[in-house]
Homo-oligomer: A and B are copies of this chain.
Amino acid sequence: MRDWNMQGRNREARLARAAHLADGKRVAAADARALLETVLEPGDRVCLEGNNQKQADFLARALASVDPARVNGLHMVQSVLALPEHLDVFERGIAAKLDFSFSGPQGARLARMVADGQIAVGAIHTYLELFGRYFVDLTPRVSLVAAQSADAAGNLYTGPNTEDTPVIVEATAFKRGIVIAQVNELVDAVPRVDIPGGWVDFVIQSPTPHYIEPLFTRDPAQISEIQVLMAMMAIKGIYAEYGVQRLNHGIGFDTAAIELLLPTYADSLGLKGRICKHWALNPHPALIPAIEAGFVESVHSFGSEMGMENYIRARPDVFFTGADGSMRSNRALCQAAGHYACDLFIGSTLQMDLAGNSSTATLGRIAGFGGAPNMGADARGRRHASPAWLRAGREAGGDGGGMPRGRKLVVQMVETFREHMQPAFVERLDAWELAESAGMELPPVMIYGDDVTHVLTEEGIANLLLCRTAGEREQAIRGVAGYTPVGRGRDRRMVEDLRDRGIIRRPEDLGIDKRMATRDLLAARSIKDLVRASGGLYDPPKRFRNW
């Protein structure tokens, strides 16, 4: 007779071993390491909540401090590698294998450790893909999550940074796994229940509040006039042309410039109410002026942003908030919304090749892609129409099988040269060499060229939808690649032909006067301006204050 409840029995054994450490569900911070050494078993699949923003940092430190003789060979399945401890666990031999989505600040160290054989990388995912695998072949055995507060029953209140917590806990709790939460406070009653207590096994009050990274704050003072020009082109040449009402913006100064031009430049074009009403977006501070100007009807968010708490609380008609007044974010559901309910994704990249394939993976850095592959992919399962989607589909000329179909607008916005005069356009992505050196099955591409519809640089917009051959696509990309070697390699006659056909459009073709592209057009030119625009509600983190 097969035992069909091995997971359940194993769970009970773990809980029994740890019982002496807990008072109800509560465990003292001083016992965190002991709890992990007691509950974890070698080879466990462990999700350590490392989100885009919120970090289970106390539990990360505790995990990095366990005795590798007792806990080892762990398989980490986590969204983001943000903290040193996320890699320390590999260095100390506690963990061996890694499946993840994004590694921003740890990208260089991760690349070194992979090269040294200290980490076996399963794969780099887009967030929703990793979450999907939590329910199929990467279900966590133990999850270590972070919340704002907990009551004695283990009910968790996440506050605005709900982020990945619901999907992690659901996958773990309903497959007989163990859920351990660090919280900032223990309270008698949580302001609202974000995670039911029945899904949570242990709660630890951490000595300091969990770390949050203000990842989506961009200081308008750093926006350049080239970025203003590119933002004008995006608004007039893409948003207005297609009538984009539902969208997602990537992180960066390029898209922050667009947000800051809505109440000024876009308004002067009569676009209020005609573009940018519904957003799948974190509460970017740069969006405040557009919200105040009445451009924005709704914003659903993956996570929150530090300093935006009071502003969000005062604008409940715009944001998704709970009865307690604070935001309820949800990365899994917002990614689904971004994929299926948005007509446009616009973001930046580091490198793009002649076919439009782009990657943020460069030599010596394994960065991961976060949400971009999901947002920046045509949603082939989408069936509802919108004017923007239908027009993009018409321009693309259907699917080749005679069946008309819409298309998502996927815009890559990039200056032709990035930092240190590195060209953004290349013949061959660094991703190829990275794949070879790290033993990856495929080069780590962020957005595939056949999903990209527009490439926007300071030189103009290349509309790839209208290209009919690979040769045309290549020349369209070269035609906006400026003075990079790729740009200088253009076939001048063909590029002029593409311009005549409206496939390449320069600022002057769009009726944009480059002399107007000054910082004066920005609705806010500093963090202080954003605070002012918010009526004093926005409370920026210290590092963004210079007054």
Contacts and interface: CB of A to CB of B under 8 A. Distances in A.
B336 A4 contact: no
Nearest to A330: B170
Interface string A357-399: 1000000000001000111111111111100001000000001
Given A8-B316, A315-B4, A384-B123, A129 B403 contact: no
Contacts of A132: 333, 336-341
Contact of A316 (B176, B193, B194, B323): B176
B337 A136 contact: yes
A135 interface: yes
A442 B173 CA distance: 42
Interface stretch (A16-24, A63-71, A261-269, A445-453): A445-453
Interface string A288-324: 0000001000101000000000000011111011110
A493 B132 CA distance: 45
A404 interface: yes
A122 interface: yes
Contacts of A383: 123-126, 129, 369, 373, 444-445
B198 A7 contact: no
A178 to B, nearest CB: 12
Contact of A128 (B136, B334, B340, B378): B340
Contacts of A207: none
Contacts of A416: none
A200 to B, nearest CB: 11
A309 to B, nearest CB: 15
B280 A123 contact: no
A545 to B, nearest CB: 25
A236 interface: no
A2 B334 CA distance: 27
A399 B338 CA distance: 24
Interface string A240-258: 0000011000000000000
Contacts of A208: none
B322 A442 contact: no
Counting chain B CB atoms within 10 Å of each CB, the highest count among A298, A300, A342, A378 belongs to: A300
A136 B278 contact: yes
Interface string A40-80: 00000000000000000000000000000000000000000
A175 interface: yes
A328 interface: yes
Contacts of A330: 170
A136 B342 contact: yes
Contact of A133 (B277, B337, B405, B448): B337
Contacts of A333: 131-132, 135, 167, 170-171, 332
Given A123-B383, A174-B321, A384-B99, A129 B341 contact: yes
Nearest to A175: B320
A99 to B, nearest CB: 7
A209 interface: no
B317 A133 contact: no
Contact of A355 (B318, B403, B406): B403
Interface in A155-171: 155, 167, 170-171
A441 interface: yes
B316 A5 contact: yes
A400 B132 CA distance: 28
A170 B128 contact: no
A401 interface: yes
B405 A316 contact: no
Contacts of A134: 337
A431 to B, nearest CB: 9
A341 B175 contact: no
A412 interface: no
A445 B441 CA distance: 33
Contacts of A126: 340, 381-383
Interface string A1-19: 0111111100000000000
Contact of A332 (B317, B336, B369, B441): B336
Given A374-B381, A403-B443, A174 B317 contact: no
Contacts of A217: none
A196 interface: yes
Given A4-B314, A399-B449, 15 more contacts: A4-B315, A128-B381, A132-B336, A132-B339, A133-B340, A134-B337, A135-B336, A139-B298, A173-B322, A174-B328, A175-B320, A176-B321, A196-B196, A375-B381, A403-B445
30 contacts: A4-B314, A4-B317, A4-B318, A5-B316, A5-B317, A122-B384, A123-B383, A125-B384, A126-B381, A126-B382, A126-B383, A132-B336, A132-B338, A135-B300, A135-B341, A137-B245, A137-B246, A137-B278, A170-B333, A192-B196, A192-B198, A193-B198, A193-B199, A355-B401, A355-B402, A373-B381, A374-B381, A401-B450, A404-B443, A405-B448
